[in-house]
Amino acid sequence: MAKVLIAIVSTGDDKWLFACLSSLSTSIFTDFDVMLIVNNSLSGYSLPPREYDYNLIIHESEELLGFAQCNNIAFEYARSNDHSYLMLLNPDTILHPHALSKAIPFLDENKDYGIVGCHQIDYSSGDWTQSNEWMKETMEEASSLGSQPHTQSGMKIINHYYVQGAAMIVRMELIPSIGYLDPVYGTFYEETDLCRRCSLSGNKIALLLESKVKHYEGGHWKKNKVAHYKRDRLFLRNQFLFLLSDPLKRSFLVQFALIVLNQTEAIIKKQKNIILSIYHYPSILLSVVTLIPTILKMRVRNLKILNAAKLCEWELAIH
């Protein structure tokens, strides 16, 4: 069985998908299988030809699932088939030939890193030197939090609290203790939540600056206003789910109020690519209120992961 499973979820993104699948054939590292999860396969989707020089597994879902549910199919497959790592890769990406040959040896050597992400490059960058907008913003955020690029095991990296699910690699041996992607999110913040659980379990997260992937960014939700509105609703709702389920935050009501203030400002000023009207915001708040029991369960789960890591650390200390 291959060492790495690469999971790609597609809902008909043919404009980018074929380039993505073709780029995998150029990889210097070849010990991988690819699982293409076809989301809503009854929608007239045309499957790609199986003419690639790697093992391509196609899983067809007849119903429309969220990003988390689709990738959990790959997590289950990777766990059942003893893959060491699972790479989540968006269809609007192109993998650099050396991306995996840089990332996998780093993970093999640094067992304390549970999740790593690739250096995201602007999709139109011909020489692979221009970072995309998400990468630029994330590097600035990491710097503001005191994390700077440094060299470890011959690889230039930057430690951060999360990496984007568009190009992330997860150490599969962590899954029994931290779980899969939480399907309650559907899409947006589900990978941030998984990274937090990785961190709570005592494992590190990093961006590998020499492992590169071109990413178009927002290839699905940018296609029309309906998709964009749906994105805004999920993005804003899921921000509540993520922040309110943080076991290290004590005041639930204060945290709720702060999120409302920040989101109201973002909607009014059209920040973070939000086009949703402020008049739609009450319905989002109502959906959050109905999910409070779920949020509290998430918070308890996260606290259990944290306490289990502390207990393990204490046991190691006394021995």
- Distance (Å) of CA 133 to CA 116, 255, 318: 19, 28, 46
Q: Is the pLDDT of residue 10 over 90?
A: no
Reported as a pLDDT band with limits 50, 70 and 90, residue 13 is: low
The SS3 assignment for 117 reads strand
Q: Please tell me the predicted confidence (pLDDT) of residue 225.
A: 72
Distance of CA 291 to the CA centre of its chain: 22
Reported as a pLDDT band with limits 50, 70 and 90, residue 224 is: low
Taking only the tens place, the pLDDT of each residue in 258-288 is 888 888 888 887 777 777 788 888 899 999 9
What is the per-residue DSSP string for 173-186?
Answer: GGHHHH-S--TTS-
Reported as a pLDDT band with limits 50, 70 and 90, residue 217 is: confident
β-strands 150-152, 32-39: how paired? Answer: unpaired
Domains and CATH numbers, the chain: 4-215 (3.90.550.10), 225-308 (no CATH)
Give the pLDDT mean for 107-123. Answer: 97
Reported as a pLDDT band with limits 50, 70 and 90, residue 243 is: very high
Taking only the tens place, the pLDDT of each residue in 188-212 is 899 999 999 999 999 999 999 999 9
Look at the pTM and tell me if it is higher than 0.85.
yes
**Would the CA dihedral through 113, 87, 137, 199 be positive or negative?**
negative
Taking only the tens place, the pLDDT of each residue in 294-314 is 999 999 999 999 998 887 767
Give the residue carrying structure tokens 């309650």. 184
Q: Please tell me the predicted confidence (pLDDT) of residue 293.
A: 95
35 vs 224 pLDDT, higher one: 35
Rounded to whole angstroms, the Cα distance separating 114 from 55 reads 25
Closest CA to 161 of 200, 212, 216: 200
Give the pLDDT mean for 225-232. Answer: 77
Neighbours of 99 (CB within 10 A): 29
Q: Please tell me the predicted confidence (pLDDT) of residue 317.
A: 66
Q: Please tell me the predicted confidence (pLDDT) of residue 99.
A: 98
**Would the CA dihedral through 139, 306, 192, 113 be positive or negative?**
positive
Q: Please tell me the predicted confidence (pLDDT) of residue 64.
A: 75
Rounded to whole angstroms, the Cα distance separating 316 from 80 reads 30
Q: Mean of the per-residue pLDDT values for the chain?
A: 89
Closest CA to 301 of 253, 247, 249: 247
Q: Please tell me the predicted confidence (pLDDT) of residue 149.
A: 96
The SS3 assignment for 221 reads coil
66 vs 125 pLDDT, higher one: 125
Residue 55 host element (H or E): strand 55-61
Q: Is the pLDDT of residue 102 over 60?
A: yes
**What's the chain's length in residues?**
319
**Would the CA dihedral through 169, 122, 150, 249 be positive or negative?**
negative
Q: Is the pLDDT of residue 170 over 60?
A: yes
Helix ranges (H only) for the chain are 14-24, 67-80, 99-109, 133-144, 175-178, 190-200, 225-244, 252-268, 281-290, 292-318
Give the pLDDT mean for 241-267. Answer: 86
